[in-house]
Amino acid sequence: MKKWGKTAFKVLVLSFILEFFAFNYKHFESYFFEIAKEYTVSNSNGLEKISPVSYKINNSSDAYFEITDLNVDVSNLYIDFNDKNGGEPYGEKLTIVIEMTDEANAVYQQLPRIEIISGIKESKYIRLHLSGKSTKLKINILGDEGDIYQIPSIQVNKIRPLIIHPLRVLLLYIIFVLYLMFRSKSVLYTICLNYKEQRQKGIILFVLVLHVLFFYGAGLSARPVLYYEVDTWKAHAEYEYLADALISGQVYLEETPPKFLSEMENPYDSGLRLQYVQNTGEDFIIDFAYYNGYYYCYFGIVPALVFFVPYKVLAGVSLQTWIPVVICSLLYCVSSFFFVYQLIQKYYPKTSIGLYIIITSVFIAGSQILYLTHFANVYSMPIILALLFGITGLGLWLKASRMKYMQKRYLILGAICIALIAGCRPQLEIILLFAFPIFWVQIKNKQFFSKDGIGNTCSIIIPFVLIGLGLMWYNFIRFNNPFDFGANYNLTSNDMTHRSVDLYRNFLGIFEYIFQPLNIKSKYPFMETIQLQTDYQGYTSSEPLLGGFLWMNIISIFSVYVFKCKTSMKEHKTYVLSWMSLVSAVIIILLTIQMSGLTQRYMSDFGWLVMIPTILVILDIHEKQIQNKEVIEIFMKAVVVLVAVSVITNYFSLFAIGRYADLINMNPYLFYLVKYWFFRC
């Protein structure tokens, strides 16, 4: 314990040293800049000075400051840009393009654009890398005519102040602690997992709390409170409409569809529908389901029954969708630790606490719930709740299967969770089949499907029957078909009632979902969404994608070793569960390609299914090679590195440009704060 205390103190000291010297090296560097004594700063005619500190753009193509009478090596520019309103929590943004001269360039040469945030001190000091002395500089202001900016002063080679951020010190400290805890030679990989040990509980709780805090922050990062105050996309409130309808004793939504929908021979023809909008002046609500003169919610009913109806009844006001989405993501983190723990206890009980924590962490990252948490709206709601039900249900079944005498409460609760998936995300109901590999020993021992096992059998079957009958009745009273969930009646960008199965579409979808490389840039935030390019001559619904699952989760390469590890995995009874997970993932990918299209959130449907065999293969190889010190050392180094790369890639994608609700637009303060704290100090 004393050794850990000394190490923790050393890490804290190192964090302060890095904060003081490494992250503030430009402060010390600026003392050596050449002093710029006399120079002139003037504004162009297109940039009118309306007060001693304020400037207004009159001509956006001729708005700039010019610094003349220089004869120094310009190493930095200080632009004192202030927030004129004081209302935004992050201040205002000023985008500029600098044009420079130096000993190699007598004519102005343009530098890349850069942003200054009034609330971020570091952004006001722009480090320049020129060739010798400059005679003049130009600072172009990128804005619209009528924009007003407060710029009290512009200075050359100003000494940059020492800027200390306690939160950055804390983040550095946490990063170092995590590195020491989970590096490949950590003692945690030699300690067998035991939840009963208090010290292990503390370590697990520490990591779990970090996950919860991160996803809570990710849920708030798009500033959903402000976003939904001005939201005009009615589909985002679809569960609120459904809750009102159910409380009123009806299944159709209270909004009245335009008359032309009932007059159209095919109201799902998106192009023809838009023509009716132009001709009649009436409009429809996109992404509502339409059937026989009424609007319906084609998203599953279960989220409405779990969250929205009770909240409206008790509170008297509607529940904003982002709140239960974030709640579900936090619970998913907790349930993931429970699920992976049950996997380990059932199949690989000799696993260390260190390996347990890192594979659980990468399981959460690979489940792709970050995208759902950040883009926390109606489209994310049924998926995240289905995933939560899925791993919770499987975890309960795994717990039941480990017992000598299975407790029916775990069978029943697990069955309820997995049955409820059909009311959230029906295609994920495929995991019902996982009951066979999980309970295979009990099935062979006639604890199911026998006279003695009738109680166990009913504990699983009855919840499915009751919930299934309820959903079938709900579907029937809406669409006259107990098996029709209504997705095809969605008023979206394409006619899903006539969407045919085209095998040629599979190649495009599989490439984009699995193998599409990331769009990596050298400029912060280093990652942008990809531009879909294809020769496929047919309609494909597509939305912003970050890249293929394999590149986002490089650790998932282990999943293909399921068949390589067939013999040892059969001994541990994980082989069937692993290949069933892979096959289920492939089926869901193909169904998604044919029924829906290409969008980042659909990776959540299959991501967790790929991660199950991934972590099982890692556990299997680790246990098989545990006695071979040389092999296990190399293996653990590879696992730790791949886990770290996968987790960082997934979580840093939060800052990617071009994604829905990207931070550069939704929360520029956070976006640029990270930039200037870590990547442009």
Q: What angle do CA 58, 63, 64 make, to 5 degrees?
A: 150
DSSP letters, 417-436, are HHHHGGGT-GGGGGGGGGHH
In three-state secondary structure terms, 212 is: helix
Q: Is 228 exposed, middle or buried (0-12, 13-18, 19+ CB in 10 A)?
A: middle
Give the contacts of 122 (CB within 8 A, at least 6 positions apart): 163, 676, 677, 680, 681
pLDDT over 90 at 77, yes or no? yes
The pLDDT score that the predictor gives to residue 681 is: 56
pLDDT over 50 at 207, yes or no? yes
The top-scoring range by mean pLDDT among 249-253, 452-456, 496-500 is 249-253
pTM: 0.93
- In this prediction, residue 458 has a pLDDT band, given cuts at 50, 70 and 90, of very high
Closest CA to 676 of 85, 117, 71, 25: 117
E strands present in 148-211: 148-156
Cα torsion 184, 186, 192, 194: sign: negative
pLDDT over 70 at 489, yes or no? yes
Q: Rounded distance, CA 365 to CA 644, Å?
A: 10
Instruction: Look up residue 71 and give its two tokens.
Output: 């004869």
Q: Rounded distance, CA 84 to CA 524, Å?
A: 27
pLDDT over 80 at 228, yes or no? no
Mean pLDDT of 455-470: 95
- Determine what percent of the chain is predicted with pLDDT higher than 90: 78
Q: Rounded distance, CA 461 to CA 449, Å?
A: 11
- In this prediction, residue 90 has a pLDDT band, given cuts at 50, 70 and 90, of low
pLDDT over 70 at 543, yes or no? yes
pLDDT over 80 at 54, yes or no? yes
The pLDDT score that the predictor gives to residue 85 is: 61
Give the contacts of 642 (CB within 8 A, at least 6 positions apart): 554, 555, 557, 558
The pLDDT score that the predictor gives to residue 1 is: 54
CA dist 30 to 41, 138, 163, Å?
21, 21, 13
Closest CA to 518 of 544, 555, 551: 551
Mean pLDDT of 452-472: 94
CA dist 14 to 11, 165, 166, 167, 675, Å?
5, 15, 14, 15, 22
Q: Rounded distance, CA 361 to CA 358, Å?
A: 5
In three-state secondary structure terms, 63 is: coil
Q: Rounded distance, CA 381 to CA 483, Å?
A: 21
Is the bond preceding residue 668 a cis peptide, omega within 30 degrees? no
Residue range 601-656, pLDDT digits in tens: 999 999 999 999 999 999 999 998 877 888 889 999 999 999 999 999 999 999 99
Instruction: Look up residue 97 and give its two tokens.
Output: 């393009």
Mean pLDDT of 526-536: 89
Q: Is 459 exposed, middle or buried (0-12, 13-18, 19+ CB in 10 A)?
A: buried
H or E, element range at 638? helix 629-652
Instruction: Look up residue 435 and give its two tokens.
Output: 């009951």
Q: Are 240 and 318 in contact (CB under 8 A)?
A: yes
Q: Are 426 and 592 in contact (CB under 8 A)?
A: no
Q: Rounded distance, CA 529 to CA 545, Å?
A: 5
CB atoms within 10 A of CB 501: 10
Q: Tokens 């545990």 — which residue? A: 626
The pLDDT score that the predictor gives to residue 87 is: 45
The mean pLDDT of the chain is: 92
Mean pLDDT of 432-446: 93
Comparing 594 with 616, the larger pLDDT belongs to 616
pLDDT over 90 at 230, yes or no? no
- In this prediction, residue 4 has a pLDDT band, given cuts at 50, 70 and 90, of confident
- In this prediction, residue 300 has a pLDDT band, given cuts at 50, 70 and 90, of very high
Mean pLDDT of 561-568: 93
- Determine what percent of the chain is predicted with pLDDT higher than 70: 98
What is the crossing angle of helices 322-347 and 603-624, to 10°? 20
